[in-house]
Structure 1
């Protein structure tokens, strides 16, 4: 990367706002629905919300009472030069402000509890939704971007509930109360004070029209940055292996720059609000002082008193302050709505198809699986065409073929990650669509090419196959998987903590742990997807030995590219472009001297 491409710190590239693409129509369409759904979560806390509203009303009323008492002190005591009763009025003023502070504390305290409970439920519902979505949903999206929905977007909603909801409601009450008291005291000065409102309205309309879409875009860009970071951090070995550090830094800089520019314009434009409000506030003060002073002099305090002018200068501040807060909080609210929309978009995604009404539970199975003229396609692309075969109880069926031939798709259909379009798949004579997914998958175990381990102890990773298993059963499964010997040599044995990527142990050892997990599950149906690929010869022998124990007496489906690992399979199915072109055992296919023979001969050479 050339030095010329680097920019000095804090050197903002102020791109024209018209160059930033936003989706205004979508925002306008979904805002009301999003607010309604947020309210549905808040409504659970109606009792606390009632207390909060009462405290907000109290604090707003007390905030109006304070300046009124100050005006009374000026007109009734200071101007009249009377001291009797002034002390009591001052004590009352102190009590008013003390209770005002207490009411603000209570409303904030209760609202924090409401916000935390609401966000807890929202986060829980979103996490549950993740587990209801089909595998295809995760295949099409960056995991980091989805993580951003669960963290950044929900935190945005949390911050808004903690701060903005009370502020908005309080501002509205204060605004209404201030106008009512001002009209009571002096309609003339009320009109003077209100004269700045049209200017405020058009200024706020101009600002919020631009900041709303920008805040929504900022949330999307933040999700993209998080997704990219998660992807690159997970693939650090590949990045460093191919020396692509400069490339990924450049790509990150581009995404980070887009986020920076979006955030810059959102904050820069919303930052105009307090400046405009302060200017109009000062203008309002000047008009009140000028016109009020003229009225006092001309009419000798018959229309307006000195105390009334003092009250109005304070109420003018209280009048513009709620407008200022409403404008500021409106921008924050727009940002929260943008985050909430992203959360609800996930929650509205089509869930994995519900089990059929008459779907049954199965506690055990013989593992007899039969495909009858099955066809399937992803969206409009046909992947499998007229597939028929049968795996008898305890048999091993292996699938071979070039990448994209349909091997993994068949496995996805067996496990019902996808539903087939045509034909029929049966388990022990029962259509698998009539078996509950959870019940079907409980009869299966998977050993995949990429052995996934969770953050936790080795013992817990093995026990994931059957949570109620005892420590002794876990250790026996590890022994059968040829994993016990290397586990006990680790510093903490079975209590050794593993990261998600299984750092500290080899790829082969991770695979042995996944085999132990499958053994502990005691499945009737076993699925192996390149379980011995990229493994050294010695470890491969251990894995093959463990797999033989695992496959014994179980119906097994094996995807393999190395044909020497599947020569003992009862049936080998050769796939090409989603169709079966050859089928038989190893000896039969070799004698046919067809595609399988050519592939096998090529691997020997």
Structure 2
């Protein structure tokens, strides 16, 4: 798939619309009370700050000419008190808005992660994991400043703008109108660069996503990279992707920075116009212009364009955030294809009868992986699935666990159609060991208990002993409390498989699924493991995929799968007597072992 590459830009499935901002508002709504309180106090501080030019006008036009020193001192003290009060309010605002912003960020990130837990394997099959991770971390983080300060600053600056215009009109109406002449020009500039900004930030987010995807892939494959001395080639690829992101980010930032010089220039022109017109009217008593009026107006002009600049910055932030919101909500809106139906029932206690009825399945439209699979396994049967690579063996066991939806057909367990049962109640009664023996960061005992969080230490140790993992575990520095890293890099491949085996068994499942469970275990350990499992598998239905045919000779029946269908089915001896595909596979292994 084209999307499943680090060097291919993602394309949005839907166009942005302002309903995305409405959805963002739903995350803000629970904190509206705190935000309103903050806005109220910040608005008061803003209004108090606007008294300064009035004080200056009064001092220039009245107190200084009349040499009223006492009034000047009182105004100075009042101004100091106002500044202290504004400082306290701003400190309160910073503390509260930061807390609110981070709470909202946490809620958005939690929703994305929760949704990712429910998405089917097909979603992860189709997208590099780095491109998923960047949405949960980087994109959400990019909204932090917008949510922490942008909203409160914007609302309070809107109020400030109204207050400023009100004070300016009180001081002088004509000079106020002159100052406002620059607004239409600014609005035109905003609309010109708006679309370019959104596209630029979309491209930047694409390049960031590509870079993160490659970094994640490189870290996961570092052993292969160093084994084949691919470091220099990987550095070249990284530098190319990093440079693409750098150039895209610079272009987006340049568009953002167009707003500031535009406002700065318009602000400067307003100053000049007010000074020129104001001074020319200074001696005209009809205009009511005094030195104090000019000083007050120029003071307000600076304050007028400051919130305009903030509003323009917020507008920039919105356009930047839009490119991230599109990706975030696209992820949250990704359909959960494998989910409980409306009338789903709790899966009864499983006994272990599994039936496939004309099961057809494909990962992609038009490319069938399984075509008309039919079989019946009774309670307690051990079913082996063999065949060439890509035949559909793993797909069959994935469908039993309902990791994918069927194209057609039906799978029943104890007569219950699994598509009609809740996923949680189905999977909780299964023990599954995949080909990838994934080990999580934490202790060994927690990794084994992952399959059943209610398991006691004794049950964990019993499972470990059954799969012969106990001996190597107790020889580690802290035994079962030994800390292991992500993917279990401190452990050998065989040790990781044994831990994964114990994890599957500690769930005490009625259906046990083993996909190449012994592929990385030495022959001696495998013999011991088979001895322990022979007892454990009694009264359990098990499905086993194994390339070592010697390990499945005692299974109830064996299915030879090829080309998406079951070519042969029977016991080990029955299939040998057929002298068909299974016979040829077995004999090829037998001859190979004889040569050894």
With the length of structure 1 as denominator, give the TM-score of the two structures: 0.92
Superposed CA offset, 1:326-381 (max 9, x none): 22222222222322222211111112443234432235221010112222222412
RMSD between superposed Cα atoms in Å: 2.2
In structure 2, the CA distance between the partners of 1:221 and 1:316, relative to structure 1 (3 Å rule), is same
Asked if the contact 2:134/2:209 (under 8 Å) is kept, the reply is yes
Once residues 547 and 454 of structure 1 are traced to their aligned partners in structure 2, the CA distance between those partners, rounded to angstroms, is 25
Asked if the contact 2:198/2:322 (under 8 Å) is kept, the reply is no
Shift of 1:246: 2.2
In structure 2, the CA distance between the partners of 1:206 and 1:80, relative to structure 1 (3 Å rule), is farther
Match of 1:376 among 351, 358, 361: 361
Asked if the contact 2:118/2:336 (under 8 Å) is kept, the reply is yes
Shift of 1:546: 4.3
Output aligned runs, 1:180-579, within 5 Å. Answer: 180-297=166-283, 299-300=284-285, 302-380=287-365, 381-579=367-565
Once residues 312 and 209 of structure 1 are traced to their aligned partners in structure 2, the CA distance between those partners, rounded to angstroms, is 35
In structure 2, the CA distance between the partners of 1:158 and 1:441, relative to structure 1 (3 Å rule), is same
Shift of 1:77: 1.2
Asked if the contact 1:31/1:337 (under 8 Å) is kept, the reply is no
Once residues 397 and 505 of structure 2 are traced to their aligned partners in structure 1, the CA distance between those partners, rounded to angstroms, is 19
Give 3-state SS (helix, strand or coil) of 1:288's partner.
helix
Which residue pairs with 2:112 in the alignment?
A: 126
With the length of structure 2 as denominator, give the TM-score of the two structures: 0.93
Which residue pairs with 1:14 in the alignment?
A: none
Superposed CA offset, 1:162-185 (max 9, x none): 122222222222222222222232
In structure 2, the CA distance between the partners of 1:107 and 1:200, relative to structure 1 (3 Å rule), is same
Once residues 503 and 496 of structure 2 are traced to their aligned partners in structure 1, the CA distance between those partners, rounded to angstroms, is 11
Give 3-state SS (helix, strand or coil) of 2:140's partner.
helix
Asked if the contact 1:132/1:352 (under 8 Å) is kept, the reply is no
Give 3-state SS (helix, strand or coil) of 2:513's partner.
strand
* Count, aligned residues: 583
Asked if the contact 1:400/1:573 (under 8 Å) is kept, the reply is yes
Once residues 159 and 560 of structure 2 are traced to their aligned partners in structure 1, the CA distance between those partners, rounded to angstroms, is 74
Shift of 1:23: 7.9
Give 3-state SS (helix, strand or coil) of 2:359's partner.
strand
Once residues 85 and 224 of structure 2 are traced to their aligned partners in structure 1, the CA distance between those partners, rounded to angstroms, is 63
Once residues 464 and 416 of structure 1 are traced to their aligned partners in structure 2, the CA distance between those partners, rounded to angstroms, is 20
Once residues 342 and 556 of structure 1 are traced to their aligned partners in structure 2, the CA distance between those partners, rounded to angstroms, is 42
Shift of 1:230: 1.1
| Gap runs ≥5 in structure 2 | 1-8, 592-596
Which residue pairs with 2:6 in the alignment?
A: none
Once residues 217 and 252 of structure 1 are traced to their aligned partners in structure 2, the CA distance between those partners, rounded to angstroms, is 18
Deviates more, 1:151-160 or 1:192-201: 192-201
Asked if the contact 1:371/1:390 (under 8 Å) is kept, the reply is yes
Output aligned runs, 1:114-193, within 5 Å. Answer: 114-193=100-179
Superposed CA offset, 1:520-560 (max 9, x none): 11000011111122433334334434443443331111112
Once residues 217 and 33 of structure 2 are traced to their aligned partners in structure 1, the CA distance between those partners, rounded to angstroms, is 44
Kindly indicate whether residue 93 of structure 2 is the aligned counterpart of residue 107 of structure 1: yes
Which residue pairs with 2:576 in the alignment?
A: 590
Match of 2:42 among 48, 56, 61: 56
Asked if the contact 2:35/2:152 (under 8 Å) is kept, the reply is no
